[in-house]
Structure 1
Amino acid sequence: MYNAGSDEADAWSRARDGDPDAFTSLFDKHRDRVFGHTLRLVRRPHDAEDVTAMVFLEAWRRRDVVRVVDGSIIAWLLVTANNTVHNLERTSRRHRAALARMSEPRNQPDHADSVADELDNVERDRRVRNAFATLSTADQNVITLCVLEELPLAEAARTLGVPVGTVKSRLSRAKRRLGDLALVSEPIRPAFEGGAE
């Protein structure tokens, strides 16, 4: 009987030992799913491509610590995508703060932003993205695995290294908080500054 999980676990074992062809096969298998998840977070295809590349670079660089859950590395890749986006956003905030300390450049307003703001779903998407960004890393990871990627609770628990009950309580709390925050009309500033939990 064909077992995709077993095949992937075998490919990962070879990749972990330094086989670039095995790693390439896993990149080909999971690239689109990681890109799609990242695009939901950053909303710009170019940035999502960069994050996807960084995720797989990190998987290759840290292949001795990648967790295989139910014969697959996809959950580890998705959590790493979350962490990579956090790091990029933190760097971006620092860059913006440094620019703010510089003299104000003269810019002409871009009418494209005002046109885009007229679309109903732009504001809703912004609220959801901002609300997601304010959640703790643990809550973001459980939302990513259980809601966005629809992984079973047990698989998410194994990926995160916590009991299923912890995943259930985090998921309930995270959904409630995400819903409450998405209703707020004021711009939401991300609450996280530290690394991954």
Structure 2
Amino acid sequence: MRARLRAGDPEAFRQLFQELGQAIYAHAYRATGDWSAAEDAVSLTFLEVWRLRERLEEGDESVRPWVYGIATNVLRNRGRSARKHQLTLARFPAPDTVPDFSDEVAERIDDGERLAAARAAVAKLRRGDRDVFMLCVWSDLSYTAASEALGIPVGTVRSRLSRARTRLLKLTEQELRRAKKRVEPPADFRQIQGDRTPAVRSIQEKAR
């Protein structure tokens, strides 16, 4: 596979995309939380795979870590671009309020609340810890494969993953508590006095 990719064999590239395209998409979605952004990341990743194919070293090992390494760099660059974009938008007047379609997206994934909390927690990790966690835990790469993908020693992968797991236990629970507070209805309900039909109604209902 390595030799065929280095030689620019289109069939080898198609085979590689069939084997890893969906996995890279899942990896990118977990990183971005956005289906469209994940699709863009997959496209950019495999464009880079094709562009950099001649740099792929010869050997019999799987090319999976190499592809994940490229995907990691694509996501890093996307993150930097997104931050620059947000800074640019911040200089303009606030736009009119538009409908929020986040609920529709959440319905398309299993346990969306926990995933959102996990993503928010992962985003607070150091970049190196975050990359290791995403590759080893979310994308199921071995320590050795993650080491190859990121260009760091295996021992560093192990220590970063241990640190990330410890910190994420606390961060994820904090994010879940914040999310719960945002969606809980107010507890201030009381009976309306003077109503002919005794009933317990909320203040909001009285206003209507």
Fold conserved (TM > 0.5)? yes
CA shift at 1:31, angstroms? 0.9
Larger Rg: 2
The CA RMSD measured in Å over matched residues stands at 3.1
Q: Which amino acid is 1:168 matched to?
A: R
Q: Which amino acid is 2:138 matched to?
A: L
TM-score, with length taken from structure 2:
0.70
Q: How many residues align?
A: 176
Counterparts of 1:151 and 1:168, CA distance in 2: 12
Assess, with a 3 A threshold, how the Cα gap between structure 1 residues 173 and 53 changes in structure 2: closer, same or farther.
Answer: same
Gaps of 5+ in 2: 180-208
1:33 aligns with 2:55: no
2:5 to 7, 10, 15: 15
- Other structure's SS at 2:53 match: coil
Deviates more, 1:169-178 or 1:83-92: 83-92
Counterparts of 1:154 and 1:143, CA distance in 2: 13
Counterparts of 2:39 and 2:73, CA distance in 1: 15
Quick check: 2:135–2:141 contact (8 Å CA) kept in 1? yes
Aligned to 2:55: 65
Aligned to 1:74: 64
Quick check: 1:142–1:170 contact (8 Å CA) kept in 2? yes
Aligned to 2:168: 178
1:125 aligns with 2:125: no
Aligned to 2:134: 144
Quick check: 1:69–1:155 contact (8 Å CA) kept in 2? no
| Larger relative contact order, structure 1 or 2 (CA cutoff 8 Å, min sep 6) | 1
1:53 aligns with 2:53: no
Quick check: 2:6–2:55 contact (8 Å CA) kept in 1? no
Quick check: 1:69–1:75 contact (8 Å CA) kept in 2? no
Quick check: 1:12–1:23 contact (8 Å CA) kept in 2? no
TM-score, with length taken from structure 1:
0.73
Aligned to 1:3: none
Counterparts of 2:85 and 2:136, CA distance in 1: 33
Quick check: 1:51–1:84 contact (8 Å CA) kept in 2? yes
Assess, with a 3 A threshold, how the Cα gap between structure 1 residues 98 and 22 changes in structure 2: closer, same or farther.
Answer: same
Gaps of 5+ in 1: 1-10, 188-197
Quick check: 2:66–2:148 contact (8 Å CA) kept in 1? no
Identity rate of aligned residues, in percent? 36
Counterparts of 1:69 and 1:135, CA distance in 2: 34
CA shift at 1:179, angstroms? 2.3
Aligned to 1:93: 83
CA shift at 1:21, angstroms? 2.4
Counterparts of 1:131 and 1:69, CA distance in 2: 38
